[in-house]
């Protein structure tokens, strides 16, 4: 949990639908990049889903496998984001436009306004797209029989690199 007395500490939450595929991958990648940048004491990363289907479950075995194959560590138990979380979050990175709209509604209900972004809006090749553009969606690999999890990992890695590169300037504001 973030230290409430540390105003320089940011809490970043990655959000997808069920919190077993995309957002756990984002959580692991972001933590890795934040640690490599020496920002672990200043930036806290977690993840959640907008739905409650998988509460308490581990990440999908395919998410775990692709992370492990690429050197990432993840200990995970699926959670659901609610409006009560909004006061504690600084930045929310959602995986698709549906998640964006769901989180936006939770924000309205809460009265708090953390920064809300599609995670791929940080990909420099996609920065010209509007925040709700379908081009920014990270596809849900849950029903994918091919390389969907590998594709999701690559999309998230590219966006995470740019997101984390911008953190030092944000922390020094």
Q: Phi and psi at residue 51, in whole multiples of 5°?
A: -105, 170
DSSP alpha helix (H) spans, the chain:
22-36, 61-69, 97-110, 148-165, 167-171
Strand order through the sheet with 43-49: 43-49, 10-16, 91-94, 115-118
**Torsion over CA: 165, 84, 107, 53 (sign):** positive
Report the relative pairing of strands 115-118 and 43-49 from DSSP bridges. Answer: unpaired
User: CA 97 to CA 75: how far, in whole Å?
Assistant: 27
Positions annotated as catalytic residues are 16, 22, 140
> Is there a contact between 141 and 151 (Cβ–Cβ < 8 Å)?
yes
Residue 82: how many other CB atoms lie within 10 Å: 13
């Amino acid at each position: 949990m973030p230290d409430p007395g540390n105003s320089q500490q940011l809490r970043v939450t990655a959000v997808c639908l069920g919190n077993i595929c995309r957002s756990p991958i984002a959580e692991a990648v972001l933590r890795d990049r934040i640690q490599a940048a020496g920002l672990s004491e200043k930036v806290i990363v977690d993840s959640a889903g907008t739905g409650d289907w998988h509460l308490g479950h581990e990440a999908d075995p395919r998410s775990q496998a692709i992370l492990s194959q690429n050197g990432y560590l993840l200990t995970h138990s699926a959670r659901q984001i609610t409006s009560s979380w909004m006061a504690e979050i600084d930045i929310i990175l959602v995986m698709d436009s549906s998640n964006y709209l769901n989180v936006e509604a939770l924000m309205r209900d809460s009265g708090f306004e953390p920064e809300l972004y599609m995670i791929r809006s940080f990909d420099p090749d996609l920065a010209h797209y509007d925040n709700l553009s379908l081009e920014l969606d990270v596809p849900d690999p849950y029903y994918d029989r091919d390389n969907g999890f590998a594709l999701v990992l690559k999309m998230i890695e590219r966006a995470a690199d740019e997101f984390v590169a911008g953190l030092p300037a944000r922390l020094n504001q």
